[in-house]
Amino acid sequence: MTSLFAMAASLAASAQQPQEIRITASEFSFKPSRIQVSQGEIKIVVTNRGRFPHSLAIVGRKEKIAYIDSGETQSLNVRFDKAEELVFYCAQPGHRRKGMEGKLMVGRR
């Protein structure tokens, strides 16, 4: 019985609010461009402070924010189950090449 309670407690803990990270996009960078998160559910909030539309994609993941107009804020929930280092970037034509990319480090270093 005790172990059942312990399991229920840990399930409740894992159902907590996702970690939230906030990123600003502009011409032509993301700030911050290096982000460290723990494994689990992450809410990525991106605000476009630039004049051009931007986006946020993650290499190897289907989830993305396809279009963020100037002045808009959009968010994306993504789950990361293993420790890994991912690259995120803006998928608008030419933007990644001009510097719109960053590193997302999942898990402990």
Q: What is the DSSP letter of 3?
A: H
Q: Minimum Å distance from CB 23 to Cu ion?
A: 12
Whether the CA torsion 101, 87, 34, 64 is positive or negative: it is positive
Interface of this chain with Cu ion, residues 51 to 70, rule: CB under 5 A: 54
Q: Does 100 bind Cu ion (CB under 5 A)?
A: yes
- Across the beta sheet with 54-58, the strand order is 34-37, 101-106, 84-89, 54-58, 64-68
Applying CB under 5 A, among 23, 37, 95, 101 the residue interacting with Cu ion is: 95
Least distance from C-beta 104 to Cu ion, angstroms?
A: 17
Point out which residues bind Cu ion (CB under 5 A).
54, 90, 92, 95, 100
